[in-house]
Amino acid sequence: MISFNYETDFLLENEEAVSSWISQTISAEGFKEDDINYVFCDDAYLHKLNVEFLNHDTLTDIISFDYSVGKIIQGDIFISVERVADNAKDFNTPFEEELHRVIIHGILHYCGYKDKTDEDANEMRNKENHYLMQMV
């Protein structure tokens, strides 16, 4: 089950459509969905998690805590709406597109995709683009 939680004034307008899209992505990647919690927050909230749990004193757009077991996807995904908005401006991309990219990025990590090397990052970006086309 996918749930959306809010620690800021932001509200996802199309929760049902986004939830269905995430579920379809998980299935297409050959995984099964369990409890996945999205938490939309601001920079300060996510920065605190980044410092406390990852020892990174930086701003980021997403932090995911993966509790998956085998092919069963579960976890908590925290997204800074402020960071997504800034990134959308920097990349000259509509906010909703950047938000969807970050939403699916967390799921792709749970499916085993990495982004630390250039090669892995390119593969991740290609998968993001593929699934973004499914959301339209």
Judge whether 109 is annotated as a binding position: yes
CA separation, residue 112 to residues 40, 51, 57, 84, 109 (Å): 23, 24, 25, 23, 5
Is 90 annotated to bind a ligand? Reply is no
Per DSSP, the residues of 1-31 read: -EEEEESSS---TTHHHHHHHHHHHHHHTT-
Is 56 within any annotated ligand binding site? no
What residues are designated binding site for Zn(2+)?
A: 105, 109, 115
What residues are designated binding site?
A: 105, 109, 115
